[in-house]
Each structure stands twice: as structure tokens, then as C-alpha cells.
């Protein structure tokens, strides 16, 4: 099959043992994967660790890579699955901790650290960025994945559907629900209904 996508061509080369091709893919996509993971976990250091894991998985799966889908779609499928697994582990841990905490302490534990310096966000102000991050923390895992790929990574519905192994109509519903939730949260922040936070 003719490989027209340069990233896909590099991935095919990685499957043949070309480490230079893998380095090229890492350099191109590492920042985007870190951002993506950060939208899930809300912590920059953990996002960087998760991104490293994603690329390790990518390298190990290179020999099985098929060029039927765009490379970016394949990459974000790997990243989404890894982040979903991370959230499941986090939720299990959080539920265990919650049983030993008071309601006030539990609320504090649910706060997510905001990733530092996100140049993709065009909304003004770091407090507003915190409001968006807080809103995204309220989304389901699949809503968060679809919303992030659409709004922050600029992926098409078709590609997001492939990454999530879903349908375009289901993806549109996920993104719509996520957008409504985020907009309502930001509007509440703008009206002073949510406490502002210093992100120093």
C-alpha cells in the first residue's frame, strides 16, 4: 500500500527497527501528547510521565501498525486508552481515600493541579484557564478525550471516532455535552459564582 502520510511512513520504518524514525515522530508529537495527557490528569509532571508511557507503547506496537488510519489517529488511540486506564486507577485510589476522609477534605482532594503555561488556550487569564481545567475535570473520560482532540488538537470527528473506536454521531454527542458543560462552568466563573484561584 502506498503510504502518503509522512508520519505513517516513519511509523512503518519504526516497525522495521529504524530508531531515527522513532526519534523524528517523538520530536514532532511529544508536546501534543503531553498536552493531551495533561487535559486528562491536570498535572504537568504526571502528564509528561504518561506521555513517555504512550511513546513506549507506540514503539512496542510499531511492528503491528497498519496504515489504514492516519498516524495521528493511531497515536491518539494509544494515548486515549492509556489515559483512560490511568483515570480508572486514579478513581479507584480516590474512592479508597474518600472513605477515610471528611467531606471537606474530600473536596480538596478532588482539586486538580493546572498544567503550567498552556499556549494553546486563547482564553485570557490564568484564572480562566483554571476554570476550564476545573470544568473538564467534571467531564466523563470519553467526553474529555473527544473534547480535547476536537478543541485542542483540531482533529476531525471522523478521526476522533476512529481513535475512540466509536461512531461520528456518538463523538458529536460527546463533544456537544462536553462543550455545554465547559461553557456553563466558565459562565459561572465569569459571573463570580465560582471562587477564583491563584495559580501563582
pLDDT tens string 167-186: 999 999 999 999 999 999 88
Could you give the dihedral angle defined by the CA atoms of residues 64, 65, 66 and 72, in that order, rounded to the nearest 10 degrees? 160
Residue 7: C-alpha distances to residues 25, 44, 76, 175 (Å) = 7, 26, 13, 27
Q: How many domains does the chain have?
A: 1
The residue ranking higher by pLDDT, 135 or 195, is: 135
CA–CA distance, 79 with 91 (Å, rounded to integer) = 18
Is-contact 112 43, C-beta < 8 A?
yes
Per-residue confidence at 101, pLDDT binned at 50, 70, 90? low
**Residue keyed to cell 511512513:** 9
Is-contact 114 103, C-beta < 8 A?
no
CA–CA distance, 181 with 176 (Å, rounded to integer) = 9
36 assigned to some structural domain: yes
CATH of the domain at 135: 1.10.1740.10
What is the rounded average pLDDT of the residues 77-93?
82
196 assigned to some structural domain: no
56 assigned to some structural domain: yes
175 assigned to some structural domain: yes
200 assigned to some structural domain: no
CA–CA distance, 79 with 77 (Å, rounded to integer) = 5
54 assigned to some structural domain: yes
pLDDT score for 68: 78
197 assigned to some structural domain: no
Per-residue confidence at 3, pLDDT binned at 50, 70, 90? very low
The reply to whether the predicted model has a pTM over 0.85 is no
- Residues 110-155: tens digit of each pLDDT: 344 444 444 544 434 567 777 888 888 889 999 999 999 999 899 9
**Residue keyed to cell 480538596:** 108
49 assigned to some structural domain: yes
Is-contact 148 36, C-beta < 8 A?
yes
Closest residue by Cα to residue 165 from 74, 33, 64, 29: 74
Q: What are phi and psi of 153, to 5 degrees?
A: -105, -5
Q: Residue 36: give the domain boundaries.
A: 6-190
Grid coordinates given for 63: 511492528
**DSSP, res 41:** H
CA–CA distance, 21 with 189 (Å, rounded to integer) = 45
pLDDT score for 125: 57
Amino acid at each position: 500500500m502506498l503510504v502518503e502520510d509522512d508520519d505513517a511512513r516513519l511509523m512503518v520504518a519504526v516497525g522495521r527497527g529504524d530508531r531515527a524514525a522513532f526519534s523524528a515522530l517523538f520530536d514532532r508529537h511529544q508536546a501534543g501528547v503531553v498536552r493531551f495527557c495533561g487535559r486528562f490528569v491536570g498535572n504537568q509532571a504526571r502528564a509528561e510521565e504518561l506521555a513517555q508511557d504512550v511513546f513506549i507503547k507506540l514503539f512496542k506496537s510499531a511492528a503491528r501498525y497498519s496504515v489504514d488510519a492516519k498516524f495521528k489517529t493511531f497515536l491518539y488511540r494509544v494515548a486515549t486508552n492509556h489515559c483512560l486506564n490511568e483515570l480508572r486507577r486514579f478513581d479507584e485510589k480516590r474512592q479508597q481515600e474518600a472513605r477515610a476522609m471528611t467531606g471537606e477534605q474530600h473536596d480538596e482532594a478532588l482539586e486538580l493541579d493546572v498544567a503550567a503555561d498552556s499556549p494553546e488556550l486563547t482564553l485570557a487569564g490564568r484564572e480562566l484557564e483554571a476554570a476550564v481545567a476545573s470544568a473538564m475535570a467534571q467531564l466523563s473520560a470519553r467526553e474529555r478525550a473527544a473534547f480535547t482532540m476536537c478543541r485542542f488538537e483540531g482533529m476531525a470527528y471522523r478521526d476522533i471516532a476512529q481513535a475512540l473506536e466509536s461512531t461520528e454521531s456518538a463523538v458529536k454527542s460527546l463533544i456537544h455535552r462536553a462543550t455545554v458543560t465547559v461553557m456553563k462552568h466558565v459562565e459561572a466563573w465569569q459571573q463570580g459564582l465560582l471562587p477564583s484561584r491563584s495559580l501563582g
